[in-house]
Amino acid sequence: MSSMSLARRYNVAFKDHTGKPALMSWRKSANETRLPFLPSWVFYMVNPDFSFEGFDGCAFSSGLERGRISYTGGSFRYEFFFLPGATAEECVAHYRGEMNARGTIWRQIRKVEIAMKTKKQNEGEEGADDSTDASIEGSSSGDESQDGSTGGRLPGLIWQKDDEDFSSINYRSWLFMYPDADVQWGADSDDRQVDLVQFDPIPIEVEEDEILKWDPMEHPVHSERMSARGRAIGWDIEEGLVSWMDDRKNAKWEVAANEAMCNAKDLGWESW
């Protein structure tokens, strides 16, 4: 029996920072704890006819990625918020409110690093103080707690902070707007569209006389409609949202989040 057939589906309802229903979904092997993956993709369902009733986020994500995704990084959780008729700016405002309430992934990464440092010190491992202190200090941000307990919080949201991750993307944050009422993926769904919304722009360094063709600072919220799965053209797949997601593989935030996931598993954590 394949490991995929043994995977458990988690569709966990929760309340967003405004008290409205939301959903986070992920799949894990049956022998793993239910600890949600730290890397995430956030979808805003904006069609007024959408409903969380009977909605399976795991089935949605599996159908979206099937035959398209190829990233070699770790696994992701999906989060779904329902903002009927919302604009890109309204979705961004909601996302920022959610991040203010929950923090970023760097909160959990820091907590794991502290817990691992404590574990090594308790085990008497030599040199436990050195590199870990530098790593923790480098991960510090204003929303992070100073303790290493698991806490039981909702996992934080992605916020890129290493400028080396901006070679092909000039924004620190993003979300996806799903405008369709149909959430099933089938043979007729390759033309389905999704809006990629990027925000929190990063200034581009230019030479003294250089003129920018595109300045993200002039577009604090940048929305781009694209194919969701990308249409198969012969042996190739046209560019779409899934290929954009694939291009984020091995970014520094993803590597750090996946390392924290592995360490949290070793620590026996079942919640963040």
| Average pLDDT score, the chain | 84
Q: Of 139-143, 254-258, 263-267, where does mean pLDDT reach its minimum?
A: 139-143
Predicted local confidence at residue 111, as pLDDT? 97
Average pLDDT over residues 30-56: 95
Domain ranges for the chain, please list them: 8-104+155-267
The residues with which 225 forms a beta bridge, in sequence order, are: 195
Mean pLDDT of 5-10: 81
What average pLDDT does range 85-111 have in this prediction? Answer: 98
What lies within 8 Å, CB to CB, of 219 at 6+ separation is 201
pLDDT at 260: 97
Query: pLDDT by residue (tens digit) across 129-143?
Result: 544 443 433 343 434
Contacts of 212 (CB under 8 A, 6+ apart): 204, 206
Average pLDDT over residues 118-124: 89
**Band (213; pLDDT cuts 50, 70, 90):** confident
Confidence of residue 96 (pLDDT cuts 50, 70, 90): very high
| pTM score of the predicted model | 0.85
* 212 has pLDDT over 60: yes
Residue bearing the bigger pLDDT, 237 or 256: 256
pLDDT at position 207: 75
Query: If residue 241 lies in a helix (H) or strand (E), which one and from where to where?
Result: helix 241-246
pLDDT at 166: 58
The answer to whether 15 and 22 have CB atoms below 8 angstroms apart is yes
